[in-house]
Structure 1
Amino acid sequence: MPEDIESREADTLTEDIARLGSLEKIIQGWDETQQRTVLALRNGWEAIYRECLRRLIRTVQNAPQGATGLREAAADPYVYAVLRTLSLVRPSLQERIEAALDSVRPGLEGHGGNVELVELRPPDTVVLRLLGSCHGCPSSSLTLSEGVEKAIREACPEICHIETVGRQHAATAPIGEGTEQRISPFAIGG
């Protein structure tokens, strides 16, 4: 599929999801009985859609070239979004890694740092970059092993290798006095 078509479809999906989010905000203002009614209606339709898609997937998988067709279909952003919403496919490896990084970011940000996923090398390697005060910090190895790597390995047991790279840009986050005494947010009692 041409890149501009994929980009437009992704934009449309983002807009559709934003519209649903707006509707959910409206419903949050309703009384509890109305909210439960809407939730029950949504859950009922989702159960029907989930079972329908399970049966469709099972039928297609048994057809010649069915598994290939399903993989191609799941690559479509709309199809993938629906399958993920209905828990019919697992989150991708990249999504699970990003979720693991999101889980440790508050601790890193509290110390003026961050981490970014630079590259995913399937099947078992992740390349990361420490940012801000974490880059070059004496406690960065502890931050990596006890925070970042631990979170990734729990979310993605198939990851065997976690590598880090340095900054590509010379710009650094402002570092205050006492930087040499920084402690990893993952240090015991840190």
Structure 2
Amino acid sequence: MPKATRTRIDDREALKKRYVEEAGKIIATEGLSALTARRLAGNLAVAVGTTYNLFANLDEIVVAVNGTTLDGLAAAIAAKPLPAESVEAALIALSDRYLGFVRKNRNLWQALFEMAPPGEGNEAFPNQPRFEALFAVVEGVLTPLFLPGEEAARARSARVLWAGLHGISMLALGQRLAPLGVATAEDLVETLVCCHVAGLRADRKS
């Protein structure tokens, strides 16, 4: 590849990275509704048309920002080893890191779920591989509770826990825990984890 061509490609990728970083800053401080192509272009001192030379639409930028958010969550969860004394302890620690990340990155986290889902058909959900990698961490923690050949059941169990944790986190972000009569999201998470694991252990004994 000629050097001039390679330089143009590198410059293009560098500018796309700047777009994603700037979009992330806007979303983090003001929320997804504050993000517009004109706002981005103005902040980056480029023409509005440049945005659509680099990205198909604004949603493509948001998907990229969401990808960095999920990468950040993965890094927060993996920051140190999970407790090894029990499945429950590991899941509660993982959940605490999840809740901590969500609280620190409220607007970025909510932006993940404010985008319209893909239409019907075979279109994949944006950033699905990143979600799958996070689910795999939960599946790994649950492994001692399942026998070989029960991978589908383990995957379903991990997603049930993740869905419950997500619901609790969104209630906490919206300050809607009071009607439930619980003090903190952590109280709910501990009950969710312990009851879920107890049910799995009971199924194993029956």
TM range (shorter): under 0.3
**What is the TM-score of this pair, normalised by structure 2?**
0.25
Query: Which structure has more helix as a fraction of its residues?
Result: 2
Give the number of the structure whose alpha-carbon radius of gyration is greater.
1
**What is the TM-score of this pair, normalised by structure 1?**
0.27
| Highest RCO, 1 vs 2 (Cα 8 Å, sep ≥ 6) | 2
